[in-house]
Structure 1
């Protein structure tokens, strides 16, 4: 592989680490901050015994924070990448089971305290795509240039923030158009 391809793949790996890392860090802290709300969402999925919800809720929140920190810092990048991909596959599976049951009115539970999306097959597919992106840093590895690594992570954080802004604009537009029709 030529040097420019290696740099490009390292930058892409850092971009994925940054965007997935910040997503996990924010989601994990939200689950810690709004723990009771998250437990309600976790319970509504009806996939875990009631006695295990509390432990599962804390474990998931801490795992998300640690995974996000690994991806953003680059320390344990491969482990963080694999953990993120595994959690995203688990989330997609849990959502898919409920969509298949016809239970699409549930919140995704991604970031408690914020308006989440309701379950759908498109959300399941998007979560699976994110799992693929999360795995890229484990496959490609870290960029050989620390500057490129930092730039890639910061671009990933910026992409995630743009995604949130875009989603907020779409929600505001939907609310405005719904209010205009009433």
Structure 2
């Protein structure tokens, strides 16, 4: 059984992640389309439509995560991250490590196995959200914990991305 504080913290964290990701795509759809094309897993003709579709799916996932229908948002989020992870894995297998991952906040540092590890961790955390939830009333301390968790998880995600970027820049510099 899962405590509701853990559930709301995870669901809120993923809603924040996908909201920021969608915002970044919205601000520069052309750049996201280029990143999508660079993965070379879709025919180039599908890239413009897929760019808009991914953006809309992230908006829908964010919205669902913030509603009583959050399980649909969790499932949609897991599918999205699995699709992103598959694209990264395919390109790693091809030896194409120079492409931008297209991840939230990425700056063209390339892709690596660390992206697979990070995304696998995110998928595992999403799977936790499917566990049965304990029925109990939340108190003010619970809400404070959720807010603190959201801040800590955002900082942890940003730190992980910086560590991945640093490792990839170091790897690309030496190759």
TM-score with structure 2 length normalisation? 0.79
Task: Say whether residues 1:21 and 2:11 are aligned partners.
Answer: no
Pick from 77, 87, 92 the counterpart of residue 84 of structure 1: 77
Superposed displacement of residue 69, structure 1 = 2.5
Query: Equivalent residue for 1:108?
Result: 101
| Structure 2 residues not aligned, in runs of 5+ | 168-175
Work out which structure has the larger RCO, using CA pairs closer than 8 Å and 6 or more positions apart in sequence.
1
Contact 1:25–1:66 (CA under 8 A) maintained in structure 2: no
Distance change in 2, residues 1:155/1:32 (3 Å): same
CA distance in 1, matches of 2:61, 2:134: 16
CA distance in 2, matches of 1:62, 1:150: 29
**Following the alignment from structure 2 to structure 1, what is the Cα–Cα distance between the partners of residues 127 and 116?**
17
Deviation at 1:13, TM superposition (A): 1.4
After superposition, the C-alpha distances for 1:55-78 in whole angstroms (9 at most, x for unaligned) are 11111011112212222x233210
Judging by fraction of residues, say which structure has more helix.
Answer: 1
Q: Any gaps of 5 or more consecutive residues in structure 1?
A: 1-5, 175-182
Q: Is the 8 A contact 1:88 1:127 kept in 2?
A: yes
Asked if 1:125 corresponds to 2:117, the answer is: yes
Q: Distance in 1 between matches of 2:99 and 2:146?
A: 32
- The CA distance in 1 between the partners of 2:39 and 2:122, in whole Å, is 21
Alignment of 1:10 onto 2:10: no
Whether the aligned pair in 1 keeps the contact of 2:3 and 2:134 (CA below 8 Å) is no
Please list, as runs of the form range in 1=range in 2, the aligned pairs for 1:36-75 lying within 5 A after superposition. Answer: 36-71=30-65, 73-75=66-68
Q: Provide the aligned C-alpha RMSD in A.
A: 2.9
How many angstroms apart in 1 are the aligned matches of 2:77 and 2:89?
18
Q: Which runs of 4+ in 1 moved over 6 A?
A: none
Name the CA distance, whole Å, in 2 between partners of 1:170 and 1:146: 35
